[in-house]
Structure 1
Amino acid sequence: MPAADSLRTPDPRPPAARTPETAPPGPTKRPHELRRVLGLFRPYRGRIALVGLLVGASSLVAVASPFLLREILDTAIPQGRTGLLGLLAMGMIVIALVSGVFDVLQTLLSTTVGQRVMHDLRTSVYERLQKVPLAFFTRTRGGEVQSRIANDIGAMQATVSSTAASLVSNLTAVVATVVAMLALDWRLTALSLLLLPFFSWISFRVGR
């Protein structure tokens, strides 16, 4: 009854003296869940480290392209040095090829690690289901169990195989790009960084 609930006297006891039924629910911290998730990747830490190295190498190689372009526009073309122009153009082609190879290897390794982690997780869930008592299946609907195996674990697949690698790759690319911009011209870099919050705000508003 809403009227009776609105007239109910509040509990005069302090929060520390309240029973668990009357105490307000607080935020629960579960650091063990993060440790369990990280534990899934522990057998593949060597491949994960290799993926990180490939991401860093790909970002560094891609950053070298603007420096070659600067030499083409500022030195080779104005001075008419066709030999230097050919070398710089060949260097940009090599950079594109090497960056593409690094990206393919990174995608292959990250996808392989992600699929192996998902296989281990599904196997662990299946082994756990083999050990639970029969009463669990009588109390739980079959659709809920299938949803745990198929939907919940499948929802992690994109995060494990692609999202994490993309996050590391984008973060490395941003750091390398800012360093390269500072090396090319610190004034244009400062202007770009000052305008970044404004364009981020516009993108946020348009996205909403």
Structure 2
Amino acid sequence: MEGSMPDPVTNRAGRRPVTSRSEVEHAAFELFARQGFEHTTVDDIAQAAGIGRRTFFRYFPSKNDVAWGDFESQLALMRARLAEAPADKPLLQVISDALVDFNRVDPAEAPWHRRRMELILTIPALQAHSTLRYAEWREVLAEFVATRLGSTPDSLAPQAIAYATLGVALSAYEQWLRSQDAELGDLMRAAVHELGAALGTA
């Protein structure tokens, strides 16, 4: 009879299966907040999301990657937009725009993004993974800066600018997490401006 066979995934999880990466993230963030990142397993996340392990790994290579979301796609987009920047646009302005664009968050996702960044910035178990992600991000920026300056990505100026820009982004995020009323994009722009002003008087 129709309806006599329960959906094995929905029945196991006690909720309908999720349909997107962001929904898996939300289920994971709720678990991390309730029982801690280190005490939450991939199986826990899959069960809470109403999916199987295989589906989880189609979205994320590991539990650590949940915190970073769709990082690779965002990084590819950042690379493309840096390449499209007008050659006569000041370097600092290009970097500021790229920083704001890369970290742009839909207002509906802002509360979840706060949870994401709290994880990335405060959970010791994520630090090694985050170091790899930071390196990928700096590499993209260093390649762009090197092209602008006519140097190589591993030379001093592109590397220094990439490291400094990452520091700017992290400082803006720390301010954002401390203030519920702050607008992330404004903080990013202000932080880049402060860096430029300080370097201009060095």
Q: Which has the higher helix share?
A: 1
Q: Name the structure, 1 or 2, with higher relative contact order (CA <8 Å, separation 6+).
A: 1
User: When the two structures are superposed, what TM-score results if normalisation uses the length of structure 1?
Assistant: 0.28
* Larger-gyration structure (1/2): 1
